[in-house]
Amino acid sequence: MDNRPSFELTMIPEDTPDPVGALLQLNRRFAIPEQETLDVIRHTRKFLPVTLERNIPRDAVAFVEENRFSLPGVFLAVKPIRRYIHNDYATHLLGYLGAISESQFDATERGVYGPNDFVGQYGVEKTYEDILRGVKGLKRVEVDAAGRTLSTLGVIPPTSGQDLALTIDYATQKAADEAFTGDESLGAAVAIDTATGAVLALTSKPSFDPNLFAYGVSREDWNGLVSQEFHPLNNRVIQGQYPPGSTFKPFVALAALEERVITPDATVYCGGSFRFGRRSYRCWKKEGHGTMNMKQAIIQSCDVYFYTLGVKLGINTLAAYVKEMGLGAPTGIPLEGERGGLIPTTEWKLKNRKQAWIAGETVSCAIGQGFVLVTPMQMAVATAAIANGGTVLTPFVVAGKAGGEHPSRTVAIAPKNIALVAEAMRGVVYEPHGTAWRLKLEKRPYQYAGKTGTAQVIKMKQNEEWEHEKMDIRYRDHAWFIAWAPVDAPRIAVAVIAEHAGHGGDAAAPIAQKIIDAYLSGHGYPLDLPVPTPTPGPAEGVTPTPPPAPTRAPQTAALSSPPPAPASATPQETVR
């Protein structure tokens, strides 16, 4: 983004003998709402300019100049205006400038803003408004009793705001924006650095053009945005709260390993359903998976195995561990409006639903359904915590000191258990019957680890069957995929949700692959490198050796300046 000059049509009413006549003359070329403008004039302090039209084109400038002698008090002012060069590129991250509201103007110290100023209203533009806006200049003038300027006594020049270097990687962000294709492309994707938490890409679909706001959004455009069924102004990465489906299972496995309710080589038989009380809970595979240990259950996403773990753990114990991994609470990313999701407990239900917890509800929660809700940002942070060996990061979007502090914490989960789950997630892509097996068909110079998920939007009755493609799009399942790469030296963690798109392996995993490819191909893993032979996983029941943790700069260094980019890195996006 950058700034460019624009022409504004303004009027000083006290210098205009006939404001109504001037408006009539101007409306030969413009469409200025007469009554609304006259109301603004009546409520504006004397001898202050009133903006009639912003960002007027060159031919309109010529019209005003040609008629300026018959339009006393009407003049053109040149003002900088924000230009979003790439239109809807990273819109929900960058945000936009918009006209200052009356309440915002009244709430700020006098002199900070003018009544016609534009201020950050969304995203980075809003969060870092104080840094970006600079300081207004000041001109001291002598006026007469009527308020007319007689002379200038002194001028203090304005001070420009700071430039901000964002953490996003241009190629990675572009890939994320373009990965959602088609008329029904809905969802969100976010990628973060597994060692620092720096946001590498953030996209939410549907999107919008922030230039609509940079020029002063019209009532028609605003109504069009807010009335759209799928809410393009919502940042789904931090505000969308979804059931995680099977992407929740690795975190359930961590809880079970830590509580020792099951061992890695202990097995559960899946015959296609799980009987609990008077109800039977189905596995997604009707005929069942047979005998499953933990690694196999994650690779093949066996519901019955995780139903069993949920009952053994109980909802409160399960909740404590998944919260430890960063789910069910805001991540702390410095963007306004982040939602917390929901990891239910017995206490929560009693307080919010005035009902006791039913044991069967734990069964549904154990596969990421029921009351469980997460945001894509939370899933990216939790995935990075598995990739990096147990560190929950605070995601951030501005590099250097201006970005503030972004603390991290080490989870209270044994590294060997994290390594077991990490190896199983590698198997989701590379081992037989893995639910993301399609990713290995296209050879890469690195390996992924991940987990697919399919989350129901509406509840199915027992033994009910639906044809996904014949359903109203609003009721179709969401597709999830969480992943990191490379497996042996993690650099990037990704969470993708493709709303109403069906199965995670079919719809969400290819999006994640494009994002990871875009980042790693520019950071030491070009796609034309020789493809390594996949390393077979360890024998069942054998604890794998944990992958080496990524090298971390000391925390003090990370807070003072961003790490140097590799020579092959693409330029960072800069907000000016």
Q: Which of 22, 49, 83 is the C-terminal boundary of a domain? A: 83
Bond into 206 cis (ω within 30): yes
Q: What are the distances in angstroms from CA 11 to CA 71, 121, 144, 147, 416?
A: 9, 26, 20, 16, 71
Judge whether 347 lies within some domain. yes
Q: Residues 319, 438: one domain?
A: yes
Q: What's the confidence (pLDDT) of residue 384?
A: 98
What pLDDT, on the 0 to 100 scale, is given for residue 572? 41
Whether 439 maps to a domain, the answer reads yes
Residues 63 and 198 in one domain: no
Task: Please determine, for residue 91, whether its predicted confidence score (pLDDT) is greater than 50.
Answer: yes
Is 364 a residue of the active site? Answer: no
In a domain, 131, yes or no: no
Question: In 3D, which of 201, 210, 203 has the Cα closest to residue 181?
Answer: 203
Are 410 and 502 in the same domain? yes
Domain match, 72 and 201 both: no
Given a cut of 60, is residue 550 above it in pLDDT? no
My answer on whether 251 and 364 are in the same domain is: yes
Q: Does 374 lie in the same domain as 262?
A: yes
Evaluate whether residue 145 is within a structural domain.
no
- Annotated catalytic residue, options 6, 204, 207, 246: 246
At residue 460, the pLDDT reads: 54
Confidence of residue 190 (pLDDT cuts 50, 70, 90): very high
Percent of the chain, pLDDT > 90?
A: 51
pLDDT single digits (tens) 201-217 = 999 999 888 888 876 67
The boundaries of the domain holding residue 232 are 167-527+540-575
What CA–CA distances, in Å, run from 15 to 50, 74, 118?
A: 12, 8, 25
With a pLDDT cut of 70, the percent of the chain lying above it is 85
Alpha carbon 259 to its chain centroid, in Å, reads 33
Position 565 scores a pLDDT of: 35
Say if pTM beats, i.e. exceeds, 0.75: yes
Is the pLDDT score of 347 beyond 90? Answer: yes
Res 482 pLDDT > 80: yes
**Residue 238 lies inside a defined structural domain of this protein:** yes
- Within-domain flag for 140: no
Instruction: Quote helix, strand, coil % in the chain, to nearest 5.
Output: 35, 20, 45
Token match 């899946």: residue? Answer: 270
Last residue of a domain, which of 68, 83, 98?
83
- Whether residues 192 and 74 fall in one domain: no
- Please indicate, yes or no, whether residues 79 and 173 belong to a single structural domain of this protein: no
Q: Which of 18, 51, 83 is the last residue of a domain?
A: 83
Tens of pLDDT, residue by residue over 456-473, are 876 655 555 555 555 556
Assign 219 a pLDDT band (cuts: 50, 70, 90).
confident
Residue 532's alpha-carbon distances to 226, 429, 445, 453, in angstroms, are: 49, 15, 6, 28
> Above 50 in pLDDT, residue 427?
yes
List, in sequence order, every residue forming a beta bridge with 120; answer none if it has no partner.
97
Give residue 352's region: left, alpha or beta (phi > 0; psi -120 to 50).
Answer: alpha
Q: Based on the domain organization, do 68 and 174 belong to the same domain?
A: no
pLDDT band at 541; cut points 50, 70, 90: very low
Same domain, 314 and 173: yes
Q: Are 315 and 336 in contact (CB under 8 A)?
A: no
Q: Using the structure block, give the residue that is written with the tokens 């603390």.
A: 407
Look at residue 492 and tell me if it is in a domain.
Answer: yes
Query: Residue 569: is its pLDDT beyond 60?
Result: no
Find the CATH number of the domain harbouring 71.
3.90.1310.10
CATH number, domain containing residue 214 = 3.40.710.10
Tokens standing for residue 112: 């900070």
If asked whether residues 171 and 35 sit together in one domain, one would say no
- Say how many domains are in the chain: 2
User: Is residue 482, in this structure, part of any structural domain at all?
Assistant: yes
Question: Does one domain contain both 73 and 180?
Answer: no
